[in-house]
Each structure stands twice: as C-alpha cells, then as structure tokens.
C-alpha cells in the first residue's frame, strides 16, 4: 500500500510543498510507494503581490495568474475540487464534486478568506487591492482621483502582507506627486492599535516616512461602519473620518473547514510553531496564511514553512525521526514610493532592522516578482 500525502491548496505554500515533495520523494513516487496529491479549487495559481501594482497601472491582474498544472511537478496528481470537510479521525477529506479522499499525511494550505461584510457599508463605500476585481476597480478610481481625501484604513489584523497598506500609501503619495496633484489630495492612514504597524521597528520607520511626506496617521482606529452616502468612516473608538476615496484592507478569517474540524479557532489551524503539526490531530500540518504562528501572513513564510514540512513528511515516510523545524524566518520587501524600497528580515522573537529605502531594493522587489514563478516551481 502506498502512503498518500495530500495537500489542500494550490497557492504559494501548497505549490512549493508539492514540488519539494516531488523532488525529495521522487524515487518513492516512481516506485509506487508514495503518492502526492494536491487538491485545489482553482485551475490557476495566483501570485497576490502583483495586485499592489494594479491600482497604479503598473501591472495587470493577468500577470498574477498561471495554470497550476504548469507550475507543479508532473509526479504530483492534481485534483481540481473544493474540500468541504476534514475528518481527522477517519483521515479523509470530503470534496464538493468528487468522492471522499483518504490521506496518510495531510497539509492544509488554504490561505485566508476576505470578509468585507463584517463591516457594514464597506463593500459599497470602499475599495481594496486584496483581490483581483478590487484592484482593477481601484485602478479606475485612482485614475479619476485628482483631489480630495484619500483614506487607507487597515480594518483588523492579521491580514495578508502586513507591509502592503504602508506600501500602498507611500506609493500613492509618490504617484500623485508625479501626476502633479498631490497638493490637492490629503492622505490619511489608519491602524487598529496604538502605533502605525504591528512590528515596532516598521511602525517607527513608517511614522517617520509618513511625517516627511505629509501623510496623516490615526492610530487606535478600528473601523466598524462605513456610510457610503455621506462618505464617512466610523470607528469603534467613536471617531469619524470623511473620505472621498476609501481604501479599506478588508477583515480576514481563516477557513471555516478548520473550525468545523476542531483544528483551531477563527479558522486558523492551531499548530506547533516549529514543527507546523496541528495540535488537535495526528499527521496534519498547516502552512501559509491558514496556520496560526506568531509571524506575518506572507508568501515568504508559506515558502519557508513548506520546506520544513516537506522535510518532516519525507523523514516520516522513510521511517526516520523528523528533525527539520521552522524558526519563524520572514522576509518582506517594502516599497517606499514608486521607485524606492527597503526590506526586513526576521525570525521568532527578533525585531527587524529597517534600512533606508533605495532604488536597487525596489528593482530587487520587481526582479523577485518575475522570478517568483521559479520559486513556486521549487527551483529557487
């Protein structure tokens, strides 16, 4: 009987993991001792960081899509279906269209879901760049926006890519300057806690950048209602902000499947932060945005975690004791305008250092976006 390794999700984490497993367990797959299956509900793999550039007309959402089948090693079976239930006692998954699928080792990499409905009026009154359609609509709104109040509100954390909202306002500032209309636009950035970002050093850096660029900051601002008629954003703290163009980072949740399977609260899988093994079930791992670990919801995290889980599963399949661990390594590039960027690198318990922004780092970020397709294939 062959051992069945199943991965749910064909995004960053799932794709890197599938390719790493194919690479590590190639001989066992060829001999029929191991089968690797990816179950994903979309024919396309989506590289979300591209969406940040769409509102400024620098990229098209099509640039973010590639067929999953082109990126995944041919030794991995792909099932295009939606997982609708996880039974960790019987070790099987229910699928929307196909028969139940049994597994010996399961990795959950379903990413996050956006829940804009949690904030009344947000869908009608706000824009965002956290989805394909949102990014395209925001591009059209930005093209017409030449005066008034641009408000970017971070509504709840955690959210994907903690740097992206900071990047968006710094890019918007520069983009509006280059278009000659910055003097007619007021920009305000809001954040739910008492500083401009969850990570202290990024908050300090961003606050200085914002001050220099005349961007207002409102902290302890938890948006709880949008009035699309009056164009007012209300917060739980009783504050109000008038806006002309609202960019809201929508609230996120993990996957309902996770809560239903008893694997963690709020849809986030409760895992050991080093082994990425689920605390509530045997032979279940979680990587990427759906895993509850104390670091950022970033593609780099999904990528490094996939490497750890590939090593651990390969060791188990071979009857060895798994020793690979994930130490919280996170790397984030941060755009500081339209042609300058910086980056941060940190691990569990570390505070990152933010270096001054520069043009070469901006080009490095753009270069990375191009070479991402090699990363997903497991080549980088």
Ligand X SMILES: Cc1cc2nc3c(=O)[nH]c(=O)nc-3n(C[C@H](O)[C@H](O)[C@H](O)COP(=O)(O)OP(=O)(O)OC[C@H]3O[C@@H](n4cnc5c(N)ncnc54)[C@H](O)[C@@H]3O)c2cc1C
Is the Cβ of residue 3 or residue 225 nearer to other proteins in the bound state? 225
Residues 212 and 337: their CA atoms lie apart, in Å, by 13
Pick the piece of the chain touching other proteins (CB under 8 A) from 10-18, 87-95, 127-135, 233-241. Answer: 233-241
Contact flag: residue 162 with ligand X (CB under 6 A): no
Per partner kind, with CB cut-offs from 5 to 8 A, the member of other proteins, ligand X, none near residue 294 is: other proteins
Contact flag: residue 149 with ligand X (CB under 6 A): no
Contact flag: residue 48 with ligand X (CB under 6 A): yes
Contact flag: residue 82 with ligand X (CB under 6 A): yes
- 334 token code pair: 């941060």
Interface pick for other proteins out of 114, 115, 141, 157 (rule CB under 8 A): 157
Is the Cβ of residue 148 or residue 307 nearer to ligand X in the bound state? 307
Task: Please work out the total of residues on this chain that contact ligand X, with binding judged by CB under 6 A.
Answer: 36
Pick the piece of the chain touching ligand X (CB under 6 A) from 47-55, 100-108, 138-146, 227-235. Answer: 47-55
Per partner kind, with CB cut-offs from 5 to 8 A, the member of ligand X, other proteins, none near residue 300 is: ligand X
First to last CA, the chain: 33
Interface pick for other proteins out of 236, 374, 379, 380 (rule CB under 8 A): 236
Burial of 238: CB neighbours in 10 Å, binned 0-12, 13-18, 19+: exposed
Is the Cβ of residue 28 or residue 103 nearer to ligand X in the bound state? 103
Per partner kind, with CB cut-offs from 5 to 8 A, the member of ligand X, other proteins, none near residue 283 is: none
Q: Which of residues 198-217 bind other proteins (CB under 8 A)?
A: 198
Q: Which of residues 327-356 bind ligand X (CB under 6 A)?
A: 332-333
Q: Least distance from C-beta 368 to ligand X, angstroms?
A: 8
Q: Least distance from C-beta 289 to other proteins, angstroms?
A: 15
Contact flag: residue 238 with other proteins (CB under 8 A): yes
Contact flag: residue 40 with ligand X (CB under 6 A): yes
Per partner kind, with CB cut-offs from 5 to 8 A, the member of other proteins, ligand X, none near residue 236 is: other proteins
* Rg from Cα positions in the chain: 21
Q: Least distance from C-beta 80 to other proteins, angstroms?
A: 34
Contact flag: residue 41 with ligand X (CB under 6 A): yes
Is the Cβ of residue 151 or residue 302 nearer to ligand X in the bound state? 302
Residues forming the site for other proteins (CB under 8 A): 156-158, 192-194, 198, 220, 222, 224, 236-238, 294
């Amino acid at each position: 009987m062959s051992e069945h390794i199943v991965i749910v999700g064909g995004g960053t984490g799932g794709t890197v993991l599938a390719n790493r497993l194919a690479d590590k367990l190639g001989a066992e797959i060829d001999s029929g001792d191991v089968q690797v299956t990816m179950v994903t509900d979309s024919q396309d793999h989506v590289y979300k960081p591209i969406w940040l550039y769409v509102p400024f007309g620098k990229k098209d959402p099509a640039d973010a899509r590639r067929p999953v089948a082109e990126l995944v090693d041919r030794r991995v079976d792909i099932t295009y279906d939606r997982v609708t239930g996880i039974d960790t006692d019987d070790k099987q998954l229910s699928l929307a269209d196909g028969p139940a699928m049994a597994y010996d080792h399961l990795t959950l990499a379903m990413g996050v879901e956006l829940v804009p409905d949690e904030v009344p009026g947000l869908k009608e009154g706000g824009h965002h760049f956290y989805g394909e359609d949102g990014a395209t609509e925001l591009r059209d709104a930005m093209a017409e926006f030449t005066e008034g109040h641009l408000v970017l509100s971070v509504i709840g954390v955690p959210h994907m890519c903690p740097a992206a909202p900071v990047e968006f306002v710094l890019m918007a500032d520069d983009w509006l300057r280059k278009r000659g209309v910055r003097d007619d636009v007021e920009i305000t950035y809001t954040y739910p806690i008492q500083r401009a970002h969850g990570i202290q050093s990024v908050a300090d850096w961003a606050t200085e950048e914002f001050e220099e660029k005349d961007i207002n900051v409102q902290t302890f601002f938890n948006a709880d209602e949008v009035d699309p008629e009056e164009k007012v954003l209300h917060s739980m703290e009783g504050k109000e902000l008038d806006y002309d163009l609202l960019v809201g980072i929508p609230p996120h949740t993990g996957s309902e499947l996770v809560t239903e399977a008893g694997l963690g609260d709020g849809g986030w899988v409760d895992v050991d932060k080093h082994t990425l093994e689920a605390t509530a079930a045997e032979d279940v791992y979680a990587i990427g945005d759906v895993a509850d670990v104390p670091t950022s919801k970033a593609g780099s995290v999904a990528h490094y975690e996939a490497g750890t889980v590939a090593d651990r599963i390969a060791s188990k399949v071979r009857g060895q004791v798994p020793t690979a661990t994930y130490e919280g390594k996170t790397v984030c590039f941060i755009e500081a305008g339209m042609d300058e960027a910086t980056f941060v690198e940190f691990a569990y318990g570390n505070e990152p250092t933010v270096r001054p922004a520069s043009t070469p780092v901006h080009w490095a970020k753009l270069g990375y976006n191009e070479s991402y397709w090699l990363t997903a294939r497991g080549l980088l």
